[in-house]
Structure 1
Amino acid sequence: MRKNMELPSDPADLQLLLHALVDGELDAATTLALERRLVDDPALAAEHARIAALQTAVRNLPRPGVSDAFQARIAALGVAPQAAARPASAHSAWLGWRAMAASILVTAVLTSGLTQWAMTRNAPDSFAAAVASSHRRSLLAASPVDVASSDRHTVKPWLDARIGLSPAAPDLAKDGFSLLGGRVEVITDKPVPALVYKHREHLITLVAAPQDGRTASIPAGAERAAGGFSLIRWADGAFTYWAISDTDRATLEDFVNRFREAAAAG
């Protein structure tokens, strides 16, 4: 494996690589080189998050029904299934029609205004996927934070100066969760503050998104898995929080409970 693999400079080629990365089609060397590039290139990282979110949204689209009229229109194009050649494959032919219809629908979604509808409809899943991608990139970076400090009076002003908002940033070292600092993340094309805590050998990223219709639609306390990580979501009226880590679920729940208590206490 080459230590410093060169990536293409052409934007179109980089776009193809991002799609291949989301689809899991790159070799280990290219994947590592591209993920290192994402750490240093916020615009490229934002595009990667957008592609991952779109993939999640399209995957969650409802399966379409296929009407007789629609089948007739496809048949008129000269691509009718060969059911007559194999009488026993009627069920397979029907599945073929469904696959073709689904393919056409996905193409229409990707090339029309329905793309925005799909991403909005599945915004919670898209946001979770983007949070998971940002956490994964931070694990590969030389440093998971942009401002390194356990002092909230350093972290909060730093975030405020850059994006105009910051969540509570208590140091929970006495509870086993040390505040390492903070960074600015770009999630679904918007800059949001992120705090980073450490518990033993595990990092916990806490993304705080200002509440709006896209994030507040998830029931409070929702839990899920995202990108192979454990993730817990909750809200406090000002922010919607997403805590994500590769630590065990019980530890992440303990962190969330202690953070909420400390934040409420001021």
Structure 2
Amino acid sequence: MAGQDRTGRFWRSDAASGLILVSPTALYAILLLAVPVAMVLAISFWTQNYLEIDRTFTLKNYAEALSEPLYRQLMLRSLTISGAVTLTTVVLAFPIAYFVSFHVSPSRKSLWIFLITIPFWTSYLIRVFLWKVILGFNGVLNTSLQGLGFIDEPLTFILYNANAVVITLAHAYAPFAILPIFVALEKIDRSLLEASQDLGENRVTTFLRVTLPLAMPGVVAAVLIVFIPTIGDYVTPRLVGGPNGLMIANMIQTQFLKLNNAPLGAALAVIAMVMVSTIALIFVGLNRRYLRGPK
């Protein structure tokens, strides 16, 4: 009877209500996130024999993925491009978010946020093709610069290389960086900034010692939101990257769809996930140390 009473009290408690509310979401996450990742991890330890898969446990795929120079080059290039995209996007997004938060009247902030989200109205693929038209050998940018007399020959370093991938991805993920930074800036108590200036700080030091530390949660969110998906992007490198702009995701796609070697593709995917998770955890840890300051 005591056990039944405790069970009855539990199902009438707030904890039980919360558990019931999150159960559909948790089940959804398990079925569509955890299970596919577990399947990829399991496949990475198998072997592909033409059209059949040998389910015998082996580390051959990981040994090949880590020893082959081409795969190491693609992984390093992916980290470099994703890092450049993240740095470019966040550095350009912060001033926009700061301007909207501190210099736009409250009645017009919604309009600015609405304008920032306009790129989401068009297909991601269409935006990539538009950048291909803009950056092309005879594209809008080269034609305009030649017409104005700034260059004599079309620029060749802005398409079909890593530069084009960085430019295209930075534009595509800009709203993802602006919005979390804007939210973090909106939460800052403006009286803290006034108190800092009353204590003798100028605008620059107030920004560095008050505004930026308080906005760091939004910056961290923006970095993770941009860095994690860009390292796995394969559409943009395929369309505008050329041979020197391909990333590890393109090789994973090739292994799965063209070379019929799903286990090796799965091993490359697992290694990429581990790299991204490690870098993200290190970044979050360094950010926490920065916010705590010197002991």
TM-score, length-normalised on structure 1? 0.28
Which structure has the bigger radius of gyration? 2
TM-score, length-normalised on structure 2? 0.26
Q: Which protein has the bigger helix share?
A: 2
- Which structure has more relative contact order (CA 8 Å, sep 6+)? It is 2
